[in-house]
Structure 1
Amino acid sequence: MLKLHGRLPIIQTAANPPYLITVTTDDRVSPEARQTRALLMRQGMNPEGFKAILTDQPYPVTQAQQSDVFQIGEEYAYLNDGDILRLDPASGAIRCLYRRASPNNTILLTEQCDHYCLMCSQPPKQIDDSWLLKEARDLVAMIPPETECLGFSGGEPTLYGQGFIDLLRHTKTSLPKTAIDVLSNGRAFKDMDFAKAYAEVQHPELMVGIPIYSDDAVRHDYVVQSRGAFDETIQGILNLKSLQQRVEIRIVIHRQTVDRLVQTCRFIARNLLFIDHVALMGLEITGFTRPNLDLLWIDPFEYKDVLSEAVTLLNSYGVPTSVYNHQLCTVNPDVTENYRKSISDWKNEYLEECVKCAKRRECGGLFSSSKLYKHSAYITAFPPDSVLPASKPPVNYPR
């Protein structure tokens, strides 16, 4: 697990307000570029003119009177050229917003939401956090255009309305070749005018991931804790697909969804066959999942036959399907063709038992929160002579 945010000891501050800045290990960049760079300081480097300096060495303050200087420790050893940070010189707060070497970059747009899902990993807050939308625009403009994929998440990003559409247009202009994944509950797209505005962005690699937790409207609405959500979500999906937009349906498997998992997949296959992708996802033990764990937890090993049936059904209808956030030893062999290593690298861990596993490289491992709080009791190492199909890379980016 990587530490993406925290507070750093402040060696010196130039009293700047919080700002976004790109990390560099090159002290030979031009004077103009230095004011947009944070120098990852090494012995013998010339720090003059950089807006910020990150150092793990004793630092003579007199060398950088106009720089913000922070002490960094081993937990930020992953930082490298091209990474983008938000720094606050007043408090020492640091947050890594983009890692150039990672395929797992997602931008949080808001913590507000019109759902209150039982297992929400980003519990909604009733606050004005619209500054996140502005920061997202600034961040997108700084991200290298060769970036392969990028995610937008919340909360519920579509609550911004036109502001969300404007961000997508800005992203298309700044990152025309970058695949964009949006995580949304889909309800805003029930408004055909909004769905059309989304479609008119005409981004060639734009996908929206929308959850359906049951074929039973009452059950879905219970999971998301919002009456009428199922009908509006389905209408939103239908509107998007009528406009030729790419849609992924996401099902988080837990005790409240597993009993009708096969029926839900059959509903998708019969009524939403035009969908672009279905993701069957394991539970992340974070956010609201922790206080609701008794209501939600079921060992993945216990539902592996149900998962196999669901995957077989979707495969038989030709629906592109992936299994995310599971361990290889908790699924049946017939699922491995659909299995993906999907857990974002910054929150991905393994158990001691996994060290000797012959299939560790193919296995997605666990969420760090699962390792800490709850995981399958059936995790076992595959012996060296085990033969399984190699897992495939995730569709677009791992969630």
Structure 2
Amino acid sequence: MLLKTKGIPSEINAPIVGRVTFGSDTKGEVLIANENIPMHLQHYKVILSSNQKVSLFDKPSVYSIPDVSHLCEGDIVVVNTDGVISTLYRINSPHNFLLFTERCNSNCLMCSQPPRDKDDTDYLYNIHTQTIPLIPKDCMELGITGGEPTLSGDKFFKLLAQIQTQLPDTEVHCLTNGRSFAWPNMADKLGDMSFKRLMLGIPIYSDYHAQHDYIVQAKGAFDQTVQGLYNLARRNVRIELRIVLHKQTLPRLLKLAKFIYKNLPFAEHVAFMGLEHQGYTPYNLDKLWIDPIEYGKELTEAMTYLSDFGMTTSLYNSQLCTTPREIWQFSKKSISDWKNIFHEECNQCSMKNDCGGFFASSVFKHSKGIKAFS
């Protein structure tokens, strides 16, 4: 699914954030008008058009846009000075997120969005402070991601506070490596917010510190993450633990499950996650890839161990045909709609509607065990 497009900009001197309209809603700030451009343009911040340049009374505009079919009435976009139009919020999707920064203090072997060493916090902060008030109040769930969102510093907490105020009924799920919360003041600041609808999704990849540090490519990361988890638990911050399944995490998977139950029982949810063939993964495939049909036993043992002891567990990014039936009950449809696909053989499968499907990147690598149920 297209989330970004580009045209030729005119009179755009700073990024413009607004809701898309095709002319039926004058509350929209971004007008898409390919024909019959209205004479009265005072309602709109910027005009988008697939046409070649036309006179728009010196109104900010982007023209010669190849495709806007992915945009719907009410979507929120940012129109940048270079003519790039990025979708920030999709009105008809349950899978919306805010990218706080692309910077990160880890460099995970399987990172699907490798970090970029650039100071983007001011730009993204300014974009999000304009976006959050435009998000519908009935938004069910909103994700926060990075990079590592906490590297935004005070802006991290300011944006959380804005979300808490503007979207009081929205469940917020923030992906973070948790290392920043090893410093008590960070955990205390978050705890003081009493943000009950916020959950932090924090990865832990091994019970053995050196193995976790190798996977995230950061010395001391395990100790920081575990200390951060304890600091957050002390302040009653909701926590989800995340485990990506690959060649490095599988040998100690049951030991990790036991470590979690014995040392991190306060975790509200434990998610086991299939590998995404994106970002760094293709470059580290020899260190990471193991066919899901080959680790069914280890996965079943780890998940049933935690479940038997009363911990809520889920399996993300998996296909039913590669998953042991004993743990089908844990399988969730978790892949964001804009990158969720099914392969040709799935079209004949009787279980397709219950299956999580694939990442779009699976066209390059997927299990040899894919098959249709009759």
Tell me if structure 1 keeps the 8 A contact 2:340–2:359. yes
How many angstroms apart in 2 are the aligned matches of 1:174 and 1:256? 41
SS at the partner of 2:298?
helix
Distance 1:69 1:117 in 2: 38
Check if 1:374 corresponds to 2:365.
yes
Aligned runs of 1:1-399 on 2, under 5 Å? 2-8=1-7, 10=8, 13-27=10-24, 29=26, 33=27, 37-41=29-33, 46=38, 48-49=40-41, 50-56=44-50, 58=51, 61-62=54-55, 65-74=58-67, 76-88=68-80, 90-130=81-121, 131-371=123-363, 373-383=364-374
- Deviation, 1:67, is 4.3
Alpha-carbon distance between aligned partners in 1 of 2:25 and 2:108, rounded to the nearest angstrom: 50
8 Å Cα contact 1:48-1:64 kept in structure 2: no
Cα pair 1:27 1:47 within 8 Å, conserved = no
Amino acid at match of 2:17: L
TM-score, scaled relative to structure 1: 0.88
**Cα distance, 1:28 vs structure 2:** 5.3
- SS of the equivalent of 2:295 reads helix
Instruction: Tell me, in whole angstroms, the C-alpha distance in 2 between the residues paired with 1:5 and 1:185.
Output: 27
CA distance in 1, matches of 2:214, 2:115: 17
Gaps of 5+ in 2: none
Distance 1:17 1:312, change over 3 A: same
Q: Is the 8 A contact 2:340 2:360 kept in 1?
A: yes
Q: Distance in 1 between matches of 2:138 and 2:72?
A: 17
Deviates more, 1:46-55 or 1:248-257: 46-55
The aligned amino acid for 1:382 is F
TM-aligned CA distance change 1:28 to 1:277, over 3 Å: closer
Change (3 A) 1:28 1:339: closer
CA distance in 1, matches of 2:55, 2:151: 48
Amino acid at match of 1:149: E
Gaps of 5+ in 1: 384-399
Judge conservation of contact 1:27–1:45 (CA < 8 Å) in 2: no
- The alignment-based identity, stated in percent, is 43
What secondary structure is seen at the aligned counterpart in 1 of 2:19?
Answer: strand
In structure 2, the CA distance between the partners of 1:214 and 1:46, relative to structure 1 (3 Å rule), is same
Number of residue pairs matched by the alignment: 371
